[in-house]
């Protein structure tokens, strides 16, 4: 181990067939503590064991809150709810661990880092606190929901009864009956038609009675005249005299003009139709009240029953309604809610109130040292790479220079072959030595001889 490493990860357990779990080490791991740094300041272990316990406790509270929320949504507890409960607890656990383990440095830097984390913890606390608040005040909330459901059922039953009278001929007692009429298309239509027929028959019966009475008087007078009656307006002479014929003609003319026979026939037809309708309609009216009651029961069955399970959103709405009219309950719910929010913020608050400790300073120093080592390592790698690139560039330049010299030598040799014969031996004698000197000089580098 190198000097200045603070003994990171130097604590190792002795080998053996069985090793008892170290609860303190686990709690310190939840607080994000480095055991290597704690080896240098062993008195700090107690602090981080307590901080890890706070982080674990907050996660347990979050798990319980999730369990209650799921049970309220699903209408009861189930073993499958353990899966999302454990997942949520691990999420909160790791989040709080990140909040408390990444804050180092001076108190100015710690404060700037902890304030936004504290705000995040407050928001998370509200989310965790609400199911627990609903669970604690469950009795008042559920009773309010039951009372509200019963009130809705009673109001709807009264409305349906008022809009659907047991006797179909009666007029509904309420005007706001939109969507509340149950049997408006069967019995009422028959009753209305029967009423119209009875009204027409009554009018025709009155007319027929009047006409029949007048016709009977005319006929009786004509008959009496022809029989020799001596009543007022008669001649008292028996036989078919002029007055007898005139009165008989008046009776026959009135019978034709009043359409008495046709009206009597129409009246008999109407009375037959009325009689035919009254039988089936009376049968339908007999069970009308039962049908109305069955329709009301079916309509009310679609509404929530008072004993049905209460959902999460319904509980939240009931809590708002109850606290709106009960100041004492409202204050109690907010106090309990703030308490749970404070519990969720405890990891950040404990870290903030603990101040800057020796462990924090050593961990910050170790982080800065590791950062400097990393930067220096990158710098050395960069310089080495730059040197390799410069050396390669220099070699490329020398290779091109050597190629140009070889090309110049080849050109001189070609020129030497074209000169006069008397100079050719001397050129052939001097040229190889000159070529060897050029090749020897081109193989040299600025950093030495190869």
What is the residue-wise DSSP string for 235-246? ----SS-HHHHH
For the cut 90, the answer to whether the pLDDT of residue 439 exceeds it is: no
Q: How far is CA 14 from the centre of its chain?
A: 54
For the cut 70, the answer to whether the pLDDT of residue 41 exceeds it is: yes
Q: How far is CA 29 from the centre of its chain?
A: 36
User: How would residue 1 be classed by pLDDT, with cut points 50, 70 and 90?
Assistant: very low
Contact (Cβ atoms closer than 8 angstroms) between residue 99 and residue 121: yes
Mean pLDDT of 403-409: 88
Give the per-residue pLDDT at 242.
76
Model-level pTM greater than 0.75? no
CA 324, CA 333: separation in Å to the nearest integer? Answer: 12
Give the per-residue pLDDT at 183.
62
Contact (Cβ atoms closer than 8 angstroms) between residue 222 and residue 248: yes
Contact (Cβ atoms closer than 8 angstroms) between residue 447 and residue 398: no
% of the chain with per-residue pLDDT over 90: 6
Written as one string, the DSSP assignment of 270-333 is: HHHHHHHHHHHHHHHHHTHHHHHHHHHHHHHHTSPPTTSPP-HHHHHHHHHHHHHH-HHHHHHH
Q: How far is CA 409 from the centre of its chain?
A: 87
305-314 pLDDT tens trace: 888 888 888 8
Mean pLDDT of 374-397: 91
Residue with more model confidence, 380 or 427: 380
Q: Which two tokens stand for residue 337?
A: 């809610």
Q: Between the CA of residue 91 and those of 84, 205, 421, what are the distances in Å? A: 10, 90, 98
CA angle 407, 413, 417 (to 5 degrees): 150
Which value, in Å, is the radius of gyration of the alpha carbons in the chain?
57
245-296 pLDDT tens trace: 787 788 788 888 888 888 888 888 888 888 877 766 666 666 667 777 787 8
Q: How far is CA 112 from the centre of its chain?
A: 35
Give the per-residue pLDDT at 77.
81
Give the per-residue pLDDT at 126.
83
Coil/strand/helix, residue 165: coil
CA 18, CA 28: separation in Å to the nearest integer? Answer: 22
User: How would residue 212 be classed by pLDDT, with cut points 50, 70 and 90?
Assistant: confident
For the cut 60, the answer to whether the pLDDT of residue 430 exceeds it is: no
For the cut 70, the answer to whether the pLDDT of residue 20 exceeds it is: no
Arithmetic mean of pLDDT over the chain: 77
Residue with more model confidence, 58 or 100: 58
3-state secondary structure 138-151: HHHHHHHHHHHHHH
Coil/strand/helix, residue 67: helix
How many other CB atoms sit within 10 Å of the CB of residue 47?
Answer: 18
Range in 31-40, 176-185, 308-317, 440-449 with the lowest mean pLDDT:
440-449
Give the per-residue pLDDT at 305.
83
User: How would residue 102 be classed by pLDDT, with cut points 50, 70 and 90?
Assistant: low
Mean pLDDT of 162-168: 68
CA 9, CA 11: separation in Å to the nearest integer? Answer: 6
For the cut 50, the answer to whether the pLDDT of residue 329 exceeds it is: yes
């Amino acid at each position: 181990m190198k000097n200045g490493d603070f003994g990171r990860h130097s604590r190792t357990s002795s080998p053996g067939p069985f090793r008892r779990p170290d609860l303190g080490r686990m709690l310190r791991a939840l607080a994000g503590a480095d055991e290597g740094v704690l080896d240098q300041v062993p008195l700090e272990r107690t602090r981080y064991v307590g901080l890890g316990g706070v982080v674990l406790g907050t996660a347990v509270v979050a798990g319980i809150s999730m369990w209650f929320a799921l049970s309220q949504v699903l209408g009861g507890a189930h073993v499958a709810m353990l899966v999302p409960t454990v997942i949520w607890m691990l999420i909160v656990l790791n989040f709080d661990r990140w909040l408390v383990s990444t804050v180092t440095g001076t108190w100015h830097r710690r404060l700037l880092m902890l304030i936004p984390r504290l705000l995040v913890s407050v928001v998370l606390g509200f989310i965790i606190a609400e199911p627990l608040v609903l669970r604690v005040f469950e009795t008042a909330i559920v009773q309010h929901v039951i009372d509200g459901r019963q009130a809705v059922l009673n109001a709807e039953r009264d409305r349906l009864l008022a809009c659907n009278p047991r006797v179909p001929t009666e007029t509904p007692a309420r005007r706001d009956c939109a969507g509340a009429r149950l049997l408006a298309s069967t019995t009422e239509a028959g009753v209305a038609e029967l009423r119209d027929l009875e009204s027409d028959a009554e009018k025709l019966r009155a007319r027929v009675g009047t006409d029949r009475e007048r016709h009977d008087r005319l006929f009786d007078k004509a008959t009496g005249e022809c029989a020799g009656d001596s009543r007022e307006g008669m001649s008292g002479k028996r036989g078919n005299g002029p007055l007898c014929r005139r009165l008989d003609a008046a009776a026959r003319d009135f019978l034709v003009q009043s359409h008495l026979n046709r009206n009597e026939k129409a009246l008999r037809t109407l009375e037959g139709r009325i009689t035919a309708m009254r039988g089936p309609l009376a049968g339908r009216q007999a069970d009308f009240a039962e049908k109305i009651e069955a329709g009301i029961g079916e309509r009310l069955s679609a509404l929530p029953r008072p004993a049905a399970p209460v959902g999460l959103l319904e509980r939240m709405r009931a809590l708002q309604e109850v606290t709106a009219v009960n100041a004492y309950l409202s204050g109690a719910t907010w106090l309990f809610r703030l308490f749970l929010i404070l519990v969720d913020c405890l990891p950040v608050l404990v870290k903030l109130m603990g101040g800057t400790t020796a462990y924090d300073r050593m961990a910050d120093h170790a982080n800065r040292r590791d950062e400097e080592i990393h930067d220096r390592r990158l710098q050395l790698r960069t310089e080495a790479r730059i040197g390799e690139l410069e050396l390669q560039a220099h070699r490329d330049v020398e290779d091109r220079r050597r190629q140009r010299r070889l090309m110049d030598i080849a050109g001189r040799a070609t020129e030497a072959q074209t000169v006069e014969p008397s100079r050719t031996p001397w050129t052939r004698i001097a040229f190889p030595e000159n070529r060897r000197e050029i090749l020897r000089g081109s193989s040299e580098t600025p950093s030495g001889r190869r």
